[in-house]
Structure 1
């Protein structure tokens, strides 16, 4: 079941309308100011009166039971894409005629609905031009991608979107039991080296603190694609202000707090599995670890609901859609690209040729 966020209702006196020409102003990543793209009007983003409001604050997970509504601080409208069903949040003054996810023009304004606003945001630091340049270098370096596909990828089609993420802090304590093996080497009667593994049982407690464990709050993209552009420095996320998202799209979260925490627990469990195995190897100087079982308790759980900046792009090649992302904080690029079977075949043949040459030069010499 999806849960809402407990937070205080806030009033933000902010209007996206330019006071000079009545156009829609937007946040500029290059200057960190609010700017009007038509008349050049510029304004600084006010600094919060309370110092603790400058950064995204942690919210106690277990206390988040009584939930209050929280608006976005400025009038918004909700747009639905009839082609891919994406829901996007726009400023009321923004024109929405193209879906940023699939490029479809079949978009329509939906009826207003209660939407929860984040309590943290990482503002865009990478401009649209810089995102295009980073994307151009990335696609240029894809050696298995056909040249025609590289030419058809239009980096100027990037759209800046704030995507929803949950972050979780937790102190973990894991009680574990396992078997570890230590290799013993000896020489048999024929003079050959043999190995014998002796097995032992062990148990113990392993403690670990997780800070800002990141979980995507959208199911729009697979986690592998989002992982390609990470990490984000979410520890320095600013307290949410509508000025930071002005002029950009913001995706509505589709994975609630409870589901997000379950996903985080699964990821933390896998990470702890690796860490505990490494701990056993180091403590006992073991060569193998088997039959590891452990149970974990989580204490002092806190969370944040933050919006992370991502530049999106997509293009079609041979009737197939390829999506790309650029980290709006660091400029790291990730995505899928078409593969040329011919280039892959050539690479395989060259690899086999190198292996064959290596064997001829060095393999036969071992017989002498």
Structure 2
């Protein structure tokens, strides 16, 4: 993960420029100078380079597609922090753990694309405040605590995208419902009665076939600093807003280096693809129920990209505990570690017990039956 920010000097005063979220320009907070970001190819997924998966897995990518950065891992959450310039102390944007840089280097595949920040820090803080305020049984002071100007860190999180064509032969069984009418004896008010019932059965038929599907931009988070549930909760991402990677977009922000390598990312992507193929097979089998006995998926024309997606992160300590929150800086979707208030939970339990007690008393006294 890259926490040492990319620095660009202002042409007017020499202070650091930063990328302005929601705009295609760099701004200087010191003198107000504005500098446009050159756009060589413009936006659009079709303009980005898709790299052959085989070359990436075999570490045979052209030298221009890889880079070497100084990195250090956060000892608490494992996030990889990229640093530049002289070594200095950093703070992990995911858990606020102090990290001291070292001089180690790490060789990684360069990003091909980036979705620039759309939401400002103020936007993200407002979204976080609304989310915290909507939580049931959360401590009453947490939302106010989060709104008190607490700084959030803008981080570009690493992802892999995978494309592939698939052809899958399968063998299975199709289940079709059929119903049998039966006469059964039941007791009604102590007397036996004969009633008609419909009993469902399943007729199974052996089937086989073949399905094909093209996969485009199967998205895999390429790090471990964020919980999988939080990453899933930040979806969806609008990848049509991907721009060709330029370091300018990182000015004033951090960028997380991947810790899930290409091979592991490919394995996770194929698992997602196979889940989709299973749904395709069940649809192809048809009927009311399906059994998949065998699948032989074959993948071809496999390519990948390394891309960066924007998030705002905050790590708060509240009443002696740490809480991490993350905001999708494209959509404003919020995920995080939610705190619970034991006092509010206890009050709710007591209130529920009182309500149930009143209902029980009224029922026993016959009030409901009058």
Decide: shared fold, TM above 0.5.
yes
- Give the aligned partner of residue 221 of structure 1: 226
Note if contact 1:70-1:116 (Cα within 8 Å) is conserved in structure 2.
no
Note if contact 1:69-1:116 (Cα within 8 Å) is conserved in structure 2.
no
Gaps of 5+ in 1: 1-13, 362-368
| Residues 199 and 116 (structure 1), Cα distance of their counterparts in 2 relative to 1, 3 Å cut | closer
Structure 1 residues 53-68: aligned runs within 5 Å: 55-64=47-56, 65=58, 66-68=60-62
- Give the aligned partner of residue 22 of structure 1: 14
Displacement, 1:312?
A: 0.8
1:151 aligns with 2:152: no
Alpha-carbon distance in 1 for matches of 2:324, 2:198: 53
Q: Secondary structure at the match of 2:54?
A: coil
Q: Secondary structure at the match of 2:183?
A: coil
Structure 1 residues 1-368: aligned runs within 5 Å: 16-48=8-40, 55-64=47-56, 65=58, 66-70=60-64, 78=71, 80-90=73-83, 92=85, 97-154=90-147, 156-190=150-184, 191-281=196-286, 286-341=287-342, 343=344, 346=348
| Residues 347 and 30 (structure 1), Cα distance of their counterparts in 2 relative to 1, 3 Å cut | farther
Alpha-carbon distance in 2 for matches of 1:337, 1:25: 35
Give the CA RMSD over aligned residues.
Answer: 3.4
| Residues 52 and 182 (structure 1), Cα distance of their counterparts in 2 relative to 1, 3 Å cut | closer
Q: Secondary structure at the match of 1:314?
A: strand
Q: Which has the larger radius of gyration?
A: 2
Displacement, 1:251?
A: 0.8
Displacement, 1:113?
A: 4.3
Gaps of 5+ in 2: 1-5, 185-195, 364-370
- TM-score normalised per structure 1: 0.81
Please state which structure has a larger fraction of its residues in strand: 2
Displacement, 1:211?
A: 0.8
* Structure 1 residues 172-227: Cα deviation after superposition (integer angstroms, max 9, x where no partner): 11111112222212321231221122111111111111110001111222222101
Q: Secondary structure at the match of 2:101?
A: strand
| Residues 59 and 269 (structure 1), Cα distance of their counterparts in 2 relative to 1, 3 Å cut | same
- TM-score normalised per structure 2: 0.80
* Segment drifting more, 326-335 vs 151-160: 151-160
| Residues 166 and 352 (structure 1), Cα distance of their counterparts in 2 relative to 1, 3 Å cut | farther
Alpha-carbon distance in 2 for matches of 1:348, 1:210: 52
Note if contact 1:77-1:92 (Cα within 8 Å) is conserved in structure 2.
no
Note if contact 1:90-1:250 (Cα within 8 Å) is conserved in structure 2.
no
Note if contact 1:178-1:293 (Cα within 8 Å) is conserved in structure 2.
yes
Note if contact 1:153-1:314 (Cα within 8 Å) is conserved in structure 2.
no
